[in-house]
Each structure stands twice: as C-alpha cells, then as structure tokens.
Amino acid sequence: MTPPGTNAPPAAPDEVLSTLNRDGSRRWLRPRPSAGRFLTARRLVAVTLIAAFAAIPYVRVGGKPALLLDIARREFTILGTTYLPTDTLLVALGLLSVFVAIFLVTALFGRVWCGWACPQTVYLEFLFRPIERLCEGRHYRTGGRSPLSVGRRLLKYAIYLLLAMFLAHTFLAYFVGVEQLFRWVRSSPFEHPTAFAVMAATTGLMMVDFCWLREQVCTLMCPYGRLQSVLLDRDSLIISYDESRGEPRGPIRRSPPDPAETARGDCVDCHLCVVTCPTGIDIRRGLQMECVGCAQCIDACDRVMESVGRPRGLIRYTSQRALAGARASIVRPRTVIYPVLLVGLLGLLAAVAIGRSNTDLTVLRTRATPYALTTSGDVVNSISLKITNRATHARRFELEIDEALSLESAQLPVTIPAGAAVDVTVQAVIARNRFDGGRAAVTLRLVDDDGQRHERPATVLGPLFAQGEASP
C-alpha cells in the first residue's frame, strides 16, 4: 500500500487488469510478434480480409453492387438482390441465422472470430501495430523506455490518419456506393455536409480506437468476450497452458547442473508468452476473458520448446476437458441444438426468398376522408397504395378492382424503375349494396406490361348500410 502522507494513488493490493499498472494508470502494451505457423496463417487471413473489405464495394452482381446498405433510401442490396423495408421477415431470419452461427462457431472453436477475423484484431495487429513498430524502432523494442523523436511520432500519426481516412471512405462506400462516393470526393464538402461529417466522424473514431483504445476495445468494451461464460463449455476449443506438464516452472541452468532441475516442468519461465500477448495477459494463469485466441503465445512457446529440446504443445489449442485428462466430445447438446436451429432458419430463409414476389402491393393508411357518397348513393373510396417493383427492369403497372363500378387515378398507369417503390392514390366507386356494417371486401389486382398479375385482398370503409341494400 502507499505510505501515509504521500500524494500518490494507493497501489492495488491484488491483481489488476493487464492494461493497468498497480497505481491505476494506463499500461501501454507493445507486444512483440512471435513468428510461427499460426502467425503466418493469421497474416494470410488478415490480408485476405483487408483486401476483401477494400474490394467489395467495387464488385457488381447482375449490374448491382454486391453489398450496398443504403439507409437513406431504406434499401439493402446483397449479392445483386435488393431488399426493401417490406422484407422485414427476411432481415429478421438473416440476423437470427448470423447469431446462431456465431453461437455454434464459439461452442466449437472458442474465440476464433476474435483472434482471426474480427476487424479490430485484423487492423490493429496487421496494419497499425506493424506501422508503429516500423516508425518507433528502438522505442517500441524497449517497451517505451528509450526516447522517441518528434519526427518519428508525427510520421506515425500521419500514416495513421491517412489509413483512417481511407478506411472511413471505404466504410462510407458500403452505404452510398462507390459512384456517389467518387462524386463527393471530387466536390466541395459544403455540397454534401452530412456525408462529410459522417466520414470525418468515422475517421476520428478510428484514430481514437487505433491510437488510444486499442486492446481495451476487446477487454473492456466488446460484449462478446463477456458472453464467453455462457457460450463456452468444457469441450469448447480454447488456448490453454498445460499446467500438469509445465509446473513447477523454472529457468534451465546450464552449469553447474541443478539436482532439482529434473523435477521441474517444461516451462522455463521465459515470459515470452506474456511479452507477445496483444492483451498483455499471462496465459499460464488459466482461461481468462481477455484472451482473444490469437495463438501468439503458442508460437512463442513452441519456439522455446524446440530450442531447449522439448516437445511443442505446452501451450496449445485444447479444451478444459482434455486438459483434465478426459476425452473431449464434439457431440453435445449445444452442438446439436445450434446446427438444427441454423438449418431450420436457413431453410426458412431460403423458402421465403424463393417465394418472394417481384411485386409488392401495400395498402397504406389514408390521411384524408376515407369515403364520400355520390348522388346515386354509392361510395367513393380513397385508397392509398405503395407499389414496389422488385424486378431487375422497369415495369408499367395498371390497377384493377373487380368490385368497383369505376376507378380513377391521375397517377395510373405508372412506370416504376427496377427496385423502386411509388405511392399511388386511387378513387374507387363501390356499390352501396356491397357494404355490410360499414365495410366491404375488395380485391386489388396489379397488372404489369408483361401481363403478370398480383392480387391482394383489402377492406374499404363506408356508411352503415345493410348488406344488399340497393342504391336509391
């Protein structure tokens, strides 16, 4: 504890977070990369993901973007197919499928997403930190103990800013499209202040993230790590230290030989597994929430084991059950329930997508007076409709209502571009003898220029006539 009479904050009596010093100040991590088979594989995955993120906005499928999340127009285009707000069921099924897939992958492979594919890990460990090591040089290698020149520091942040701006523009392209993005880049920010503000805010957030927050996003902010207690079980794949083989740990003495050394475990207490960890934990303390499953400690430990002539695998991918000496089981309740749910959701999603019509007709609430009476006593209904053309080409639509004596609209027939929707208001005259209790059932029929028909039942309002009552 801090001696009385000092102004320093009290020291923590017990273990604290890996990113905090004992006095509560920030402990800046400068992990040392450990070459090995897992780092090579992760680097290949990272390069692929970074390239995919940068390239996807430019990919087109059937003349449409492969992925465009147009929030302003409320249109999502995925693999060339446009989904509109009326496709709520498809969106819900898709999101549920993603969540169940995450649960399944976590139950089987632990935090493989965090260590191998999460954008936070990919960009921090394979883009920003390599640049930091290159720019800082000896300052980085000594853990910040040697001085860093102002020029090197400015160079690092200048490169960071350029990368953050590029990533922010690429991110924005997923929501506005590359064509619109290029038009904005070539014009003044005052012509599109909202888009410029979004880009600037995204750039700023990325700078805060990769310059300051860093691994604290994973250890403190991301909820996924805190869900591990319910998503993992004793058979899930984790990275763990084999305590039965490694303890008691201790350095190897070359001469004179230590008689007690034969009783020591394989761990030579080199601390390389701690030095290389991007979240600063000691994997030898057991399963911890901060572990992102990056396997850097495995690569570091394997090299040490090879150098001292001992078998690799002191730290390895395993499960808690396997570490206890039992046989891990792939088939267990959650690995059966999750696939069944996932197959069911994907099957339902496919059925809904295949059965989706290329035309959507929605009856909207009428803001004006819903009906009026003609001089003959018949009912004039004002019907507001939204007609959606989901086809890949423009189509011309006409509306028919069999039960109507006449139908008028200044907006019909209407030509709707591909993937667009148009609001239409029609005036339909309905015979009074069709109303019962102030309501009448009608059938709305859309007919396009190819002769395709799309029908929808609807109910219109009118006075409280008795059914079958003829016009006066």
What pLDDT sits at residue 1? 47
- Most confident of the ranges 13-17, 191-195, 314-318: 314-318
Percent of the chain with pLDDT over 90: 49
At residue 253, does pLDDT exceed 80?
Answer: no
- Who wins on pLDDT, 98 or 401? 98
Going through 216-289 in order, the beta strands assigned E by DSSP cover 238-241
Give pLDDT tens digits for 388-401. Answer: 888 778 888 888 88
Cα gap 403→442, rounded to integer Å? 6
For residues 354-360, average pLDDT: 81
Over the stretch 49-78, which tens digit does the pLDDT of each residue have?
A: 999 999 999 999 888 899 999 888 888 888
DSSP letters, 153-186, are HHHHHHHHHHHHHHHHHHHHHHHH-HHHHHHHHH
Check: CB of residue 97 under 8 Å from CB of residue 342. yes
pLDDT the model gives residue 364: 80
Burial class of residue 187 in the structure, from the number of CB atoms within 10 Å of its CB (0-12 exposed, 13-18 middle, 19+ buried): exposed
Most confident region among 35-39, 328-332, 365-369, 416-420 by mean pLDDT: 35-39
Confidence bin at 255 (pLDDT 50/70/90): low
Per-residue confidence (pLDDT) for residue 238, from 0 to 100? 93
Give this prediction's pTM: 0.81
Binned at pLDDT 50, 70 and 90, residue 13 comes out as low
Decide: helix, strand or coil at residue 363: strand
pLDDT of residue 5: 54
Per-domain residue ranges of the chain: 37-83+118-214, 359-461
**Three-class DSSP category at 400:** strand
Contacts 24+ apart (CB under 8 A), 215-219: 215/19, 215/29, 215/124, 215/278, 215/279, 215/280, 216/19, 217/120, 218/114, 218/118, 218/120, 218/121, 218/279, 218/290, 218/292, 219/17, 219/18, 219/19, 219/279, 219/289, 219/290
- Among 228, 276, 210, 200, smallest CA distance to 34 is for 276
**Please, are residues 289 and 120 in contact by the beta-carbon 8 Å criterion?**
no
Res. 97: pLDDT tops 90? yes
The predicted model gives 248-277 an average pLDDT of 80
Higher pLDDT, residue 83 or 184: 184
pLDDT digits (tens, 9 = 90+) for 463-472: 775 455 555 5
Task: Give the DSSP letter string of 70-92.
Answer: ETTTTEEEETTEEE-GGGHHHHH
pLDDT reported for residue 36: 96
Whether 116 has a pLDDT exceeding 50, the answer reads yes
| Nearest-10 Cα torsion for 307, 311, 317, 320 | -130
Per-residue pLDDT band for 330 (boundaries 50, 70, 90) equals confident
Taking only the tens place, the pLDDT of each residue in 127-180 is 999 999 999 999 998 888 889 899 999 999 999 999 999 999 999 999 999 999
Residue type, 202: T
d(CA 188, CA 269): 59
Tokens standing for residue 167 = 């990533």
pLDDT of 187 over the 60 cut:
yes
Is 359-461 a domain of CATH 2.60.40.10? Answer: yes
pLDDT value at 254 more than 70: no
pLDDT at 465: 55
User: pLDDT digit string (tens) for 412-422?
Assistant: 888 888 778 88
DSSP 276-322: T-TT---GGG---TT-----HHHHHHHHHHHHTT--S-SEEEE-HHH
